[in-house]
Amino acid sequence: MKVLIVDDEKPARDRLARMVERLPEYQVVGHASNGNEAIQLAESSDADIVLMDIRMPGLDGIQAARHLSGLEHPPAVIFTTAYADHALDAFETHAVDYLMKPVKQDRLQQALEAAKKLTRAQVEQNSEVLSSIEQRRHICARVRGNLVLVNIEDIYYFRADQKYVTVRHKEGELLIEDALKSLETEFADQFVRIHRNALIQLKYVSGMVVHNDGQHVSIKEIDDTLEVSRRHLAAIRKIIKNL
């Protein structure tokens, strides 16, 4: 079984690697110091199991695990942490294992054995549990074969087009397969629907402009405008009035 170790502290990664290497059925295939690296390495190494620290700067372990669940063959994730915070009860209840630091050899072996026995359906179920625990802070998409992360704070709008959703952000655009309705529900505190096919981030709403096809919202920092449907016009006007 291939194991990826993720921790922002090198001594912790090295210690876990030595412990895994004592177990003949497991092979360490990579080290990552943050969630972004973990996502890239998990895919390129085809890891079966990821030992993931929860608290890391940038993309933390919970967020990284959520994005790992989007891989074609998601790995089983075992969290490692020095903090017995409230989320751990949820992980334990839903069979997402975790290890308290300092990790003990027998406990590590027990967790790895349990992860090895997880079926694909169980791994996917655990991913659904993660989704219900915390709102994403990044959107993950595949661009030319690579996984790219975009901070939610840098996204101007989501716009649906047939089976894909365009994500317009500060560095350009990318396509995702999330349903616009699910994005609206998840990010209801940041984005507002202005049309059946578009959500805009509230902090980037600039004003209203009139085009031949109707009323449009102008967007801070970029020249794009988005059509506002009659159904949502009153609500958007109220938002702009309060800017």
Question: For position 89, which CATH number holds?
Answer: 3.40.50.2300
Examine the domain organization and report whether 25 and 121 are in the same domain.
yes
Find the helix packing angle between 105-116 and 10-21, rounded to 10°.
70
Q: What is the pLDDT of residue 12?
A: 95
Structure tokens, 116: 């090895």
DSSP classification of residue 103: P
The whole-angstrom distance between residue 56's C-alpha and the CA centroid of its chain comes to 14
The domain that holds 194 is classified in CATH as 2.40.50.1020
Q: Of 80, 107, 133, which residue is a domain's last?
A: 133
Identify the domain containing residue 194 by its residue range: 138-241
Find the helix packing angle between 120-133 and 61-68, rounded to 10°.
140
Number of domains in the chain: 2
Which amino acid is located at 137 in the chain? R
Examine the domain organization and report whether 101 and 155 are in the same domain.
no
Examine the domain organization and report whether 80 and 198 are in the same domain.
no
Decide: 96 and 69 in contact? Cβ < 8 Å: no
Examine the domain organization and report whether 128 and 146 are in the same domain.
no
CA distance 87 to 100: 13
pTM greater than the 0.85 cutoff: no
Q: Which residues contact 92 (CB under 8 A, 6 or more apart)?
A: 98
CA distance 81 to 101: 6
pLDDT in tens, the chain (243 residues): 999 999 999 999 999 999 999 999 999 999 999 998 999 899 889 999 999 998 888 888 888 888 887 787 888 889 888 876 645 554 554 435 788 889 999 999 999 998 887 755 566 566 555 555 556 788 888 787 777 889 999 999 999 988 899 999 999 999 998 899 989 998 999 999 999 999 999 999 999 999 888 899 999 999 999 999 999 999 999 988 887
Structure tokens, 1: 């079984």
Decide: 152 and 187 in contact? Cβ < 8 Å: yes
